[in-house]
Structure 1
């Protein structure tokens, strides 16, 4: 594992500091996505394994369809919220720990789901682990939520505020009209890596769009749950959030974004 990979793994553990805020502010997933993923995977009687389930933003949408799930979450604080949220779904089993350390005990799964979490899995091992967890013909669904600001003036003002403070990679750094119809127009899209692996077939990239409205307080809460903000020194993080708030309050005290939920579907050979 490289030094960069170790840094990424350390950053993956910061969400538990703000587990309740994460649960309240992070966007969820559309019903149509769940319908399409289950239609593609057709897991039948086989359970679903979810990698990096967090507080259950995707879990609940799938559990509501009656699928049995094993949910892996490395942070105990996040897992505690996940257990609370899924208490009404007896088919959901929560396991505290990372995908890299999990032992499926000989079980093979019909679907492996990773919703905004695949990039945290050790890149040297993730495809091996995924293939080993899936039954032959089992499906992989890797999901992300890139966003873009709809108003050019608001985008420009937020970009200038971030530039002054040295902030990069914020959700509002993208403009809504930059996103095309086909997913993968952002760093880290795993389609090429999956193709190179060679053990998966029938790759299908899918993009869903919806408009999301944040008031200033909710957007600041959302930003405070992102790893890039969590690892900032506390004084700088407070300054950045305050500057973002001042900008938004000049433009109606709210922010409208286009949320592009991108999914890579693939099937184990």
Structure 2
């Protein structure tokens, strides 16, 4: 597995929000996506809610509703915005309210929210236009919080995965020796914070960090891989080759490994009198 998710590599050359073919590929298998993707730390969800003036939440890029359900579990009312109709339909069938639109073009229609959140999605949104739209949708004192899970296996596991991808997908620009997943996501955090500053409607952005771990069996990790990054773009034969290689690598480590996650959040408060 490349250390930096390939859709986030070379951000100086590629702005992720312009790569719509990748952004709109995740809905090809929403059931797998919802089942296999990691959740977010409860401590982060609770901190966001504690630092907002109320419980009305707008979830940008709600997807299948992974983050939305976590906010609902602590008493929030959640409205989602989702560009992918397949993802939106999946979330609606599970009781979530979702409006289909690219966030930059979505209309708040005079509705105001206490928090605008976005999990694993904000890099698909123009950072300035998205921050401006969030400011339009937030009550004064409301909070914009965008966050990502950055996964980093141990060095030996990372190298074993990287060897598979050097063989199967040599064009993927990732190296476990040169950088880490947190480094890659830190670039996204910087872009998000710069967008919030440029809009001029928020206080100074803060970055929050939450470290946690999750063990994976071989089957659990292979279930998750096709939902991520450029795996959704691999031809079926190449994807099968990658899965076989990664599965063999996990088998060599006893059939399981532990992924160390860091959840990075960039957050700022909407300026104005509360």
Corresponding residue number in structure 2 for 1:66: 75
Alignment of 1:79-90 (within 5 A): 79-85=88-94, 87=95
Paired residue for 2:215, among 213, 216, 231? 213
Corresponding residue number in structure 2 for 1:249: 251
Choose 139-148 or 126-135, whichever is displaced more. Answer: 126-135
Q: Structure 2 vs 1, CA of residues 263 and 174 (structure 1 numbering), >3 Å: closer, same or farther? A: farther
Aligned-partner Cα distance in 2 for 1:217–1:51 = 30
Corresponding residue number in structure 2 for 1:33: 44
Could you list the runs of 4 or more consecutive aligned residues of structure 1 that deviate by over 6 angstroms after TM superposition?
none
CA deviations over 1:154-209 (Å, ceiling 9, x no partner): 22211222222216378xx669x9688xx986332222443344321142211111
Paired residue for 1:118, among 118, 122, 139? 122
Q: What's the RMSD between the two structures over aligned residues?
A: 2.6
Paired residue for 2:151, among 140, 147, 157? 147
Q: Secondary structure at the match of 1:125?
A: helix
Aligned-partner Cα distance in 1 for 2:181–2:161 = 19
CA contact (8 A) 2:131 2:195 kept: no
Residue 107 (structure 1) shift:
1.2
Corresponding residue number in structure 2 for 1:133: 137
Alignment of 1:49-64 (within 5 A): 49-64=58-73
Aligned-partner Cα distance in 2 for 1:97–1:39 = 29
Residue 15 (structure 1) shift:
1.0
Q: Secondary structure at the match of 1:20?
A: helix
Residue 77 (structure 1) shift:
1.8
Structure 2: state its 5+ residue gaps. Answer: 1-12
Aligned-partner Cα distance in 2 for 1:267–1:229 = 35
Q: Structure 2 vs 1, CA of residues 174 and 37 (structure 1 numbering), >3 Å: closer, same or farther? A: farther
Aligned-partner Cα distance in 1 for 2:122–2:136 = 16
Q: Structure 2 vs 1, CA of residues 112 and 256 (structure 1 numbering), >3 Å: closer, same or farther? A: same
Residue 124 (structure 1) shift:
5.2
Aligned-partner Cα distance in 2 for 1:43–1:174 = 42
Q: Structure 2 vs 1, CA of residues 56 and 169 (structure 1 numbering), >3 Å: closer, same or farther? A: farther
Aligned-partner Cα distance in 1 for 2:184–2:137 = 25
Count of aligned positions: 255
CA deviations over 1:131-154 (Å, ceiling 9, x no partner): 21112222101010001002x322
Choose 72-81 or 5-14, whichever is displaced more. Answer: 5-14
Corresponding residue number in structure 2 for 1:163: 166
Q: Structure 2 vs 1, CA of residues 124 and 38 (structure 1 numbering), >3 Å: closer, same or farther? A: closer
Corresponding residue number in structure 2 for 1:10: 21
Structure 1: state its 5+ residue gaps. Answer: none
CA deviations over 1:61-97 (Å, ceiling 9, x no partner): 1111222221112222212221233x2xxxx522222
Q: Structure 2 vs 1, CA of residues 39 and 4 (structure 1 numbering), >3 Å: closer, same or farther? A: closer
